[in-house]
Amino acid sequence: MFVAHFDIDAFYANVEIRDDPSLRGKPVAIAGLSRRAVVLTASYEARPFGVRSAMPLYKALDACPHLTVVRPDMAKYKAVSVEVFEIFEEAGYPVEGLSLDEAFIEFPEDDFEKAKEFAQRIRSRILERTQLTVSAGVATGKMVAKIASDSCKPNGLLSVPPGEEAAFLAPLPVGLLWGVGPKTQRRVTGLGVTTIGDVAKLDDRSLRELFGSWGPEVGELARGIDRRHVDSSRETKSISTEETFEYDVRDEEQLIACLREHAKELAERLEREACSACTVGIKIKRADFTTYGRQTSLAEPTRDARRIFRAAVHCLRRAELNGAPIRLLGTKVASLVSGEPLQQSLF
């Protein structure tokens, strides 16, 4: 068995460049137009200037004054994603979607050359149908395949032969190991463990001291041992939307109007996904950047915009903002169930 990881290069940006050839070769960022917007995706021409995803737009414009900013069109990106996933699923192999533009596919045959050919066919098929380039990694496990595809961007294919996983991983930074976050990376780096190869050399006792009870599993990943199969049963667990305001908002009525728009958008997305939500929650970011949330469970699953809106307003009032300045407001529906919602009681 082999695993292939596919990732569309600079997805949102490349969709916009495809649809507007005048953008080709220019530094492009996909972001809202408010002064507090953040970059969702940057084209590869923008990245040498330091423009990155999640960067505040004003910082991106400071770094690259000639940056072209395009407003996101999520409906278009979703439609392209559906087309790409249809290609992923054509062979009938297990597909595990990670996001709109990223997925694992499990290739069942124990033939490395055929697995590479399969990955290349998928890349060529996507390019032919969507005019978008895809980077891919092929390996015996999910983590190595993912790291391989990240390593060959943009528009590359990197395959790691069986038995060479540990050698491929050894010189890479320890932070690339799945489950090793920035805090853990800083801590272990301070102790002299800087590469994945350093982790691979440790015994189980040392691994537990560094990483806790799951240390031995980290050690196996560092040696390229990853027994997890592609999980094609993964389902969307939640759907969310949010808005960063151009200026801080204190007026509750303005916040409620924002929640109304959120509810309409989420109801439409639930309808497209053919599922209903049992939980509604909100996310609030104050002017001082403190972030917190409130959520409520519904008596019955719903995809009705009015019920989502009422639940979100209930959460907002529970937050007791008392006129505090708000820079961001988001709404989420979660605990999703498939199928039609239950018939609401008349009385």
Q: Judge whether 271 counts as a catalytic residue.
A: no
The SS3 of residue 325 is coil
**Exposed, middle or buried: residue 52 (CB in 10 Å: 0-12, 13-18, 19+)?**
middle
Question: Helices 204-211 and 215-222: crossing angle, nearest 10°?
Answer: 110
Residue among 37, 126, 58 at smallest CA distance from 88: 126
Tell me the one-letter amino acid at 344.
Q
Which of the following is catalytic: 16, 45, 96, 102? Answer: 102
Report residue 252 as tokens: 């509750």
Report residue 146 as tokens: 């993912």
Instruction: Enumerate residues 6+ apart whose C-beta is below 8 A from 325.
Output: 248, 249, 250, 286, 287
| DSSP H or E run through 41 | strand 41-42
Question: Helices 11-19 and 74-89: crossing angle, nearest 10°?
Answer: 100
Residue among 204, 211, 123, 196 at smallest CA distance from 165: 196
Report residue 307 as tokens: 């019920």
Cα(329)–Cα(331) distance, rounded to whole angstroms? 7
Residues recognised as catalytic: 102
